[in-house]
Structure 1
Amino acid sequence: MDPINTFAGKVVAIPAENIDTDQIIPARFLKVTTKEGLGDGLFETWRYNADGTPNPDFVLNRPESAGATVLVAGKNFGSGSSREHAPWALQAYGFQAVISPSFADIFKSNSLKIGLLPIVVDEDTYYQLVSLCEEDPQTTLTVDLAAQTVTLPGGQQVGFPIDGFSKHCLLNGVDQLGFIQQQEADIAAFEATNPVASLRG
């Protein structure tokens, strides 16, 4: 996966609480064997009418939302089943980050593993972002992972938490397997000086 450091992104808001993984990507998409096409299924039941035509009232279908890379959503985002396809679909659509007052734990973990950044902000900041999107659909903000800050259009900076291991992996563009592979020399050196440990492996 690509390293994440600082990026600017256009923001779109879906101000609904408890958006679950089935709403993010319907269960029928779990049958696919690749990630290809998952972006088309993102929020499918909201994005499309029964006849398959785009729903013009859904925010992602509005012309002014084109190119958005940061999603702002209500609290408890990603609840429900633990399907990895939910963050895959968001990333395949083009989102680099999701901002919310809170995330379901498994969704948050799955997102961090693939390089989709889940950013937790306080409720005041969340409502401020929703208002900004309503006032100006072209609203952009800047995310600085190294500094763990989000910079709003007026220059206000808001910090966000992230665990040290996930931050290291995202900054360096490695997943968990890649991180282990980077330790091969140290692992080999340990096994060479600890033959009992090597035999147990």
Structure 2
Amino acid sequence: MQAFTKLDAKLAPLPLANIDTDQIIPKQFLKTVEREGLGKGLFYDFRFDEQGREKPDFVLNKPEYKGVGVLVAGDNFGCGSSREHAPWALMDFGVHCVISTSFADIFYNNCFQNGLLPVVLKADEVQALMDEAKGGNHMVTVDLEAQKVVSPSGQTFRFDIDPARKEKMLKGLDAIGETLQQAAAIDVFEERRAIAQPWLEDA
């Protein structure tokens, strides 16, 4: 997993509440377990019409938001079914941080396992970012170490995050990476077990 420290990126507004995981990545794109390529299905029904043509009025299809790295969205982002493909699709599209007033628990947890930073801000702060993102300057800074978001105009909004999750994000550690930090101790355990219980090696 790639470490997340500080991100300077383009901000796009998605002022919709209760965006569920099926809207983030529809079910027809769930046939793969590969993370690459899922960006094409991100917000598919919002981005494309029935003929597969881009809808020009959807924010991510507008030229000024091409290459977006941070999304600011409405309440309860990521609700619905549990699908890890949702953060995969966002990251494959180039989005590495989502800002909202609240997230669905399972989606929130999946984000940390995949290197996507979910940032919770107050309603007025989210609205301020929404308003600024609609203006001419779309660049925002998300600083995980300092736990702050700096808006295009320079406003600073601070956010809370669990210290353990913060540390893992800064180091780029998912569950597997965290386990591999104990690789030496695991090797010692397996060697001792092989000596003490050799019959288990033949099982």
TM-score computed with the length of structure 2 as normaliser: 0.89
After TM superposition, give the deviation of residue 70 of structure 1 in Å: 0.2
Q: How does 1:19-34 map to 2 (within 5 A)?
A: 19-34=19-34
Find the residue that maps to 2:16 and give its secondary structure: coil
Residues 7 and 141 in structure 2, CA contact (< 8 A), matched pair in contact too: yes
Matched, 1:124 2:124: yes
Residues 169 and 176 in structure 1, CA contact (< 8 A), matched pair in contact too: no
Distance in 2 of aligned mates of 1:7 and 1:46: 26
Question: Which one-letter code corresponds to 2:18 in the other structure?
Answer: N
Find the residue that maps to 2:157 and give its secondary structure: strand
1:43 aligned partner: 43
After TM superposition, give the deviation of residue 185 of structure 1 in Å: 3.2
Structure 1 residues without counterparts, runs of 5 or longer = none
Q: CA RMSD in A?
A: 1.8
Identity among equivalent positions (%) equals 47
Find the residue that maps to 2:68 and give its secondary structure: coil
1:179 aligned partner: 178
Q: How does 1:32-111 map to 2 (within 5 A)?
A: 32-111=32-111
After TM superposition, give the deviation of residue 36 of structure 1 in Å: 2.6
Find the residue that maps to 1:10 and give its secondary structure: strand
After TM superposition, give the deviation of residue 127 of structure 1 in Å: 0.5
Distance in 2 of aligned mates of 1:124 and 1:63: 27
Shift >2 Å, 4+ stretches: 153-156, 184-189
Find the residue that maps to 1:83 and give its secondary structure: coil
1:163 aligned partner: 162
Distance in 2 of aligned mates of 1:184 and 1:38: 32
TM-score computed with the length of structure 1 as normaliser: 0.90
Question: Which one-letter code corresponds to 2:180 in the other structure?
Answer: Q
Structure 2 residues without counterparts, runs of 5 or longer = 198-203
Residues 132 and 153 in structure 2, CA contact (< 8 A), matched pair in contact too: no
Question: Which one-letter code corresponds to 1:147 in the other structure?
Answer: A
Question: Which one-letter code corresponds to 2:156 in the other structure?
Answer: Q
After TM superposition, give the deviation of residue 94 of structure 1 in Å: 0.2
Find the residue that maps to 1:2 and give its secondary structure: coil
Superposed CA deviations along residues 98-147 of structure 1, whole A, max 9, x for unmatched, are: 000000000010011110000000000011011111222x3211111111
2:135 aligned partner: 135
1:113 aligned partner: 113
Distance in 2 of aligned mates of 1:145 and 1:133: 20
2:200 aligned partner: none
The range that moved more, 121-130 or 165-174, is 165-174
